[in-house]
Structure 1
Amino acid sequence: MTILIDPPLVPWRGRMWSHLASDVSFEELHAFAAALEIPARGFDGDHYDIPAEYFDVAVAAGAVPVRSRELVERLRAAGLRRRKRPRISG
């Protein structure tokens, strides 16, 4: 099992956010997130967005801290990277 987490560097809605991902499977990722009681609505296609205050909790539970670039590279290498669909402006 390899759950990855990057530093909370993304500002959104007045908070800083991390990305939580697996380089093995989405099933593993969902199970890890459920064990930490991270809401399913935090899943964003290939990762969970989690607020900075959960970073240390995730690491204590076994998530491996990595740089954001490494997280994306490992998702790609595992074939788990899902590109976001372009937004259509109207």
Structure 2
Amino acid sequence: MTLFILLIVAFLVYYLFIYRADNGSQTVTSKVNRCPNCNSIVEKDFNVCPICKETLKKYCTNCGEKIDVHWRFCPYCEKPIDKDVIK
């Protein structure tokens, strides 16, 4: 009976501390920045993709902060982004 209880406790410890921790870290690594054109892994600070030279970042024409190409508004100055201007 004691061995059975120890096995149950070992399984619970494994599940709570090891199995769940390993699965939680996989969700963090799945949030990798990728190029929308060629799907290559890119750093979040890159302005262009080093593989296909797709523009990833541009500068807001109002405040000059670096912003994502797909954003519709600048999060810094709240100005709507003109899609034609890529600086």
TM-score by structure 1 length? 0.21
Q: Flag the structure with more relative contact order, 1 or 2, with Cα contacts below 8 A and sequence separation at least 6.
A: 1
Q: Which has the larger radius of gyration?
A: 2
More strand per residue: 1
TM-score by structure 2 length? 0.22
